[in-house]
Amino acid sequence: MATVPKRVASRITSELRRYQKILEAAHARDVNESNTVVIITDFLSDVLGFDKYSEITAEYAIRGTYCDLAIKVGGTVQYLIEAKAIGLSLKERHLRQAIGYAVTHGVEWVLLTNGVTWHVYRMAFEQPVSHSLVFSLNLLEAASRDPETIEKLYLISREGLSKSAIEEYSEHKDALNPVLVGAVLLTDPVVSVLRRELRRITPGAKADDQEIRETLTEEVLKREIVEGEEARSASGKVKRAASRSLRKRPRVTKEEAEALVASPRSETPLANK
């Protein structure tokens, strides 16, 4: 859990209570998209701490079209925000529109909101380009003093941005993604460890790696963990990470190898046995 500074937590709590009343009234009046954007802009400033005049840009131009809002800090666009009318349910087509803006401009973080519901997405600019939902939050259902609510708003706040809090949260969440964990379980190194442990526990067992992998995919892991687009994406991510690790591994020169082979056996732990 992110450590939220007391000053920021206090601001989020007090301002969120105020905006919950504003959002309730706006929802009851079913205000249009333009008026919703005004509320969202004020929310970004008052609750999340962004400077309304230097860091929040409305109608951000992207190659002949416009994204509703952009957060620009230090000369770099940090968030693209696609806003819809407060009474409109957020749909897949709205997300596709927001993602299109992010891909065109190369922005990693996308916020889709109608003022009440907030969806935060992270783009992965790999081949193919993909996106993942980092978290969602309904401001009218959230308790202003709830630590989880405060943390989520801190993650996308000005202060959280300066600490890369949303990146750390996203990476922590990704590491515990069941589909990614399943993909790691099916890798050769892990299956090899399982084989050795199974043979240690049951010395007469002769199960090979393929049999263990089949047991994992067919009987241990849920189908949605090992099948489908998300599973294939997770498997690709694991393979790319393994490839990067191999590329980073330092090469041993011929001279170093010869020196290692020629080194006295007494220098190794086995020599003492």
pLDDT means per 10 residues, the chain with 273 residues, are: 93 98 98 96 98 92 78 94 96 89 91 97 86 95 97 98 94 80 87 88 85 90 82 77 64 50 43 38
- The verdict on whether omega for the bond into residue 203 sits within 30 degrees of 0, i.e. cis, is no
Angle between helix axes 33-46 and 6-29 (nearest 10 degrees) is 170
pLDDT of 224? 81
pLDDT of 265? 42
Structural domain boundaries in the chain: 6-163, 178-249
Tokens 């920021």 sit at which residue?
Answer: 8
pLDDT of 159? 98
Residue 55 amino acid letter: E
pLDDT of 184? 85
Return the CATH class of domain 6-163: alpha beta
SS3 at position 35:
helix
Cα separations in angstroms, 3 against 120, 168, 192, 261: 19, 12, 39, 50
The answer to whether residues 159 and 8 touch, using CB atoms and an 8 Å cutoff, is: yes
Residue 113's closest CA among 141, 92, 84, 138? 84
